[in-house]
Structure 1
Amino acid sequence: MKLSLVWLLVALLLSGLSARLLFSARKKARSEQLMSGLNRTERLRLKPKSVLHTMLLRAGVQVSAAGLSMALLLYMLVVMLAYLLQGSLTALLTAGGLLVIIRVMIAVRQRRRMAKIVKQLPAFIDHIIRSLKSGRTLPEGMDQAIAASANPLKSVFERSQRFVHRGASIEDAMDDLAGLYQIREFQLLALAVRINQKYGGNAVEVLSQLVSMIHEQDKASRQLKAMTGETRVSALVLGLLPVSLAAYVFISSPDFFLELWHDPSGKILLLFAFLFQLVGSVTLWRMLRSV
């Protein structure tokens, strides 16, 4: 009975995946037809993205509709397998644990990518300053800086560059970039670009001050990281100590864990211990992130 139910759910999921792919193909075809009929000089409206799409863009993860549907299908299969093997409580914990793990992985990738982008930004702005001093306009200087940059900064600004080439103003493209990534340096750069395009003025001086501020902020961040090294080590020890103790007990007395697992009350106790360890690790990680 359970096997037939699993096959029925798999069939329904595959049917939903097929419908999703068909809908995405038709939507993409209609979008391409619409874009081909648009005038190049028409102002491009930047539409807000969903929360998931925003997270993936910030993390630099490119997932198609088909890939997202396959990931959802795999997630449902893992949860159903946990339900068939261990019951509803295990399936619920598995579903929540997988979501937490995916969220943490995306957040870690996003933070590392943003840190690398901020580290590349001074060289990018310096290239714009040199272009402005040589007589180029600000849009031309940004195009030259984008071409000379490396990823991930290049891929970030190429998105704004595509918006400009499709008809959007450089101010709107930079505002969209600053709103998407929520990086203070991007917001200041977008403000400098908007002021220069709207009121004129000396953009070289503003950009030079922005580069100096980024260098000072990086220096302060390094000093703070050195001062909080003891706190980070303490949090690492607190996070690894329960896991290490459980591994030692399991290696030295495996029957103890097996008896707990085969006992209904012991199984619930172990599952809640795993859940509390997961929640505690995430809490410690978020506390360290705020330091």
Structure 2
Amino acid sequence: MNTQTLALAFLAATAIGGVAWVFLYPSLSGEKKAEARRSSVARPEPAARQADKNQRSRREQVEGTLKELDARRQKDKKVALSTRITQAGLSWSTQKFWIISGVLAAVAFMLTFIAGGGPLGSAGMAFAAGFGLPRWILNFLKKRRETAFLKALPDAVDVIVRGIKAGLPLFESIKVVAADAPEPLKGEFLAIIETQTIGMPLGEACARLFERMPLPEANFFGIVIAIQQKSGGNLSEALGNLSKVLRDRKKMREKIQAMSMEAKASAGIIGSLPPIVMLLVWITTPDYIALLWTHSTGQLMLVACLLWMACGILVMKKMINFDF
């Protein structure tokens, strides 16, 4: 019994001592005073608090600008025919495009029908010439224009950076690029100058470059200018970094193109074999293959083969094209 009492007394004294150590030792040892003194020394000054507030405000402005631009891109995701014509660098109206498409469809139908292709084959050729061929031409012109734009854009950004470092305003630097740059870069920067002249803010005018030239590089340029116009900052440094990014993307694109050339050559050979074999058979034994366009069953088979060949070509194109 005495042993149990002593043990309980020892445990109680230990508990009381521990509680006293936790609550009384900091006050007795001066640790609270030292902690208060360290906090007062480390407390930020009003200027530091103001700088931190300004930094948070600028970050919020940048995030707001990016969200606004992204919302605009999502809203305008569906491209109208008039916009596609503009992106191809043509000055046609939508009515003129449809007239040319109708003329091509009529000519293809008449030529195929006169050559003995039959109504079904003539209708297929008319659809391909009136609907597919004009859009293929638009895409071809658009890609060629985008390639020329990407080739000249890094040098144009470097000219703007050097102009800003020399003391020229941003608008004057853009004028220098518009005066000396090759097409289509010259026309796009002239459009920026014209839209800014009629009263649109320069940041918004540069952001609209992406609508006429739907490239990530053009989007980068518009975002950098728009953010700088809204939140300020070192524009020459930002554009210098953008120029470096553009050149790195160009190197990556060329590297990807070199690595995918073998697959593209294989796809070209595989896709061209059926038409070549068909042409050789027609040269050697025309009566044997003529059933494909003189008989109704042969015409159906020919249309089905063309559809399957188109599907195969699109699948191969999807496999060998890389986005980054």
Q: Same fold (TM over 0.5)?
A: yes
User: Aligned residue for 1:89?
Assistant: 120
Given residue 157 of structure 2, which amino acid in structure 1 is its aligned partner?
I
d(CA) in 2 for partners of 1:223 and 1:83? 43
Distance verdict in 2 for CA 1:285–1:96, change over 3 Å: farther
Query: Within the alignment, does 1:178 sit opposite 2:207 as a pair?
Result: no
Instruction: Show the counterpart of 2:226.
Output: 194
Aligned match of 1:163: 195
The AA in structure 2 aligned to 1:206 is A
CA RMSD of aligned residues (A): 2.5
Q: Residue 241 of structure 1 corresponds to which residue in structure 2?
A: 273
| Residue aligning to 2:24 | none
Q: Between 141-150 and 77-86, report the one with greater CA deviation.
A: 77-86
Q: CA deviation at 1:50?
A: 5.8
- Does 1:104 find its partner at 2:133? no
Match of 1:51 in 2: 80
Aligned-partner Cα distance in 1 for 2:93–2:250: 35
The alpha-carbon deviation at position 199 of structure 1 amounts to 2.3
Amino acid at match of 1:96: F
1:152 to 160, 164, 184: 184
- Shift of residue 204 of structure 1? 0.5
Per-residue deviation, 1:201: 1.6
CA deviation after TM superposition for structure 1 residue 171, in Å: 1.3
2: CA distance between counterparts of 1:252 and 1:80?
27
C-alpha distance in structure 2 between counterparts of 1:96 and 1:287, whole Å: 27
Report Cα offsets for 1:39-81 as digits up to 9, x if no partner. xxxxxxxxx7961112112221221466335314414533663
Q: Is the 8 A contact 1:93 1:275 kept in 2?
A: no
The alpha-carbon deviation at position 155 of structure 1 amounts to: 1.3
> In structure 1, what is the Cα distance between the partners aligned to 2:101 and 2:252?
42
Alpha-carbon shift at residue 195 of structure 1 (Å): 2.0
Structure 1 unmatched runs, 5+: 1-47
Give me the identity figure in percent: 25
Return the index of the structure with the highest Cα Rg: 2
CA shift for structure 1 position 168: 1.2
Corresponding letter in the other structure for 2:120: L
CA–CA distance in structure 1, aligned partners of residues 170 and 313 of structure 2: 46
Output the CA distance in 1 between the equivalents of 2:112 and 2:287: 25
Contact 2:196-2:202 at 8 Å conserved across structures: yes
Contact 1:60 1:110 in 2 (8 A): yes
For residue 218 of structure 1, what is the amino acid of its counterpart? K
The number of residue pairs the alignment matches comes to: 244
Aligned equivalents of 2:291, 2:230: Cα separation in 1: 73
Partner of 2:107: 78
The alignment partner of 1:182 has SS state of coil
Hey, what's the Cα distance between the residues in 2 that align with 1:265 and 1:55?
38
Q: Is residue 2:303 matched to residue 1:271?
A: yes
- Moved runs in structure 1, 4+ residues, more than 6 A? none
Q: Distance in 1 between matches of 2:133 and 2:97?
A: 16
Structure 2, unpaired ranges of 5+: 1-75
Change (3 A) 1:69 1:266: closer
Structure 2 residue corresponding to 1:231, chosen from 263, 276, 283:
263
Which stretch shifts more, 222-231 or 48-57?
48-57
* Partner AA of 1:271 in structure 2: V
TM-score of the aligned structures, taking structure 1 as reference length:
0.75
- Contact persistence 1:192–1:207 (CA under 8 A): yes
**Is 1:253 the counterpart of 2:293 in the alignment?**
no
